[in-house]
Amino acid sequence: MTGTETIAKPPRTGGTRPGGGRLPLARLRDFALVPAILLLVVVGALIDPVFLSAANITNVLQQQTELALLVLAEAIILIAGKFDLSLESTIGLAPALAVALVIPAASNGLGTELPAGLAIGLCLLTGLAIGAFNGLLILRFKLSAFIVTLGMLIVLRGLQIGITGGQNLFDIPPSVLYLGSAVWLGVPASIWISGSLFVLGIVALGYFRHGRSVYAIGGNTDAARAAGIRTDRVVWVVLMIGGLLAALAGLLMTGRLGSVAAAQGDGMIFTVFAAAVIGGISLDGGKGTLFGALCGVVVLGLINNILTLAGVSAQWIQAIYGAIILVALILARLTSGKAQD
């Protein structure tokens, strides 16, 4: 291992940020969305003073926690140069399977009635296993990540409907509800969890060896491998972390909504990609930062909130929502001055 360490250094700086002198510009890209966020805050405050109240801001953040975790997962996977579309099904299947294993058959459970204390562990384990299985297909069998995870998206959703018989699960054990509904120090626990995981992700990807190697792999896999990075192992771990984060997001969503809907997470992957791309993550891998992705999530959350507060008519809300996303992209392009990809 000591041997690989020294060789691993060159791609770390060379592969991701060609030329040390351009580093400030790359940093600027992280903050490209900050003007858009400030603009949204001003617009929100003008539309309704309630917008700036602590309660409302807390609501916005809490509603975005599950999306934030999925975006965190997707951003890391995208940076590593892979895709995971199946996250939107994991967010439903993981809690559904865990809950179905612990609740009685009369409440649409599987009848195994395992102790309720195991539910959270089962849920996270399911997410981890899904990520590992994705990794097996993508890395071992060399299948296209896009198609594999598209297939998994359908399979996992189908499994959830098969396991629950298509029913919403209402009878949720309190332990599963806890994380999504608890309040720590006056702020919902889910905000603490998502926030600290983002900080952890930013630090890990920005300053740690394994984190930096994710960029190197996404930028140029062959170069990274030549430099001694165990590319497959790192990507595999990244995919497993992705599944784990999606399962955690599923727990938070279940706690917030008080049930596991049969369609939980359905269609969410589009929003996940929108947030990641608005936040400056490149679909080609190797570029973008988690802070940028987080900004993307915040932008989408603020837009939603403002449209609700403004009472935009139901027929027009989707058109306006889409248009604002485009404006945010243009604004980010103007302020960062760099071509988007």
Partner 1 sequence: MRHAAKTPIGLALAAVLALGTVACGDSSSGGAGGQSGSGPQIGIDLPRADSDFWNSYTKYVPKFADEYDINLMSPTNSQNDVSKLVANVQAMVSQGAKAIVMAPQDTGAIASTLGNLESRKIPVVSVDTRPDKGKVFMVVRADNRAYGQKACEFLGEKLGGKGKVIEFQGSLSSINGRDRSEAFAECMKTKFPGITIFEEPTEWEGAKAAAALQTRLAQHPDINGVYMQAGGVFLAPTLQVLRSKNLLVPPTDPKHIFIVSNDGIPQEFEAIRKGEIDATVSQPADLYAKWALYYAKAAAEGKTFQAGPTDHDSTIIDIDNGLEDQLAAPLVTKENVDDPALWGNQIGK
Cβ of residue 99: shortest distance to partner 1, in angstroms? 12
Contacts of residue 222, defined as CB under 8 A and 6 or more positions apart, other chains included, come to none
Considering the complex, state which of residue 62 and residue 336 has its C-beta at the smaller distance from partner 1: 62
3-state secondary structure of 184: strand
The Cα 233–Cα 236 span in angstroms is: 5
Cβ of residue 164: shortest distance to partner 1, in angstroms? 9
- Where do the DSSP E strands lie in the chain? 183-184, 187-188
The Cα 110–Cα 324 span in angstroms is: 44
Contacts of residue 33, defined as CB under 8 A and 6 or more positions apart, other chains included, come to 278, 279, 280, 292, 295, 296, 298, 299, 328, 331, 332
Q: Which of 304, 296, 286 is nearest to 81 (CA)?
A: 286
Task: List residues near partner 1 by CB under 8 A.
Answer: 48, 50, 53, 55-56, 59-60, 62-63, 106, 136-137, 140-142, 155, 158-159, 161-162, 165-168, 170, 181, 253, 256-259, 261-263, 304-305, 308-309, 311, 313-315, 317
Considering the complex, state which of residue 50 and residue 199 has its C-beta at the smaller distance from partner 1: 50
The Cα 135–Cα 145 span in angstroms is: 9
Considering the complex, state which of residue 60 and residue 202 has its C-beta at the smaller distance from partner 1: 60
Considering the complex, state which of residue 78 and residue 253 has its C-beta at the smaller distance from partner 1: 253
Cβ of residue 109: shortest distance to partner 1, in angstroms? 13
Considering the complex, state which of residue 259 and residue 340 has its C-beta at the smaller distance from partner 1: 259
Cβ of residue 56: shortest distance to partner 1, in angstroms? 4
Cβ of residue 205: shortest distance to partner 1, in angstroms? 27
> What is the DSSP secondary-structure string of 278-300?
HTT--TTSS---HHHHHHHHHHH
Q: Identity (one letter) of the amino acid at 43?
A: V
Cβ of residue 198: shortest distance to partner 1, in angstroms? 20
Considering the complex, state which of residue 60 and residue 130 has its C-beta at the smaller distance from partner 1: 60
Residue 116 exposure: Cα atoms within 13 Å on the Cβ side: 10
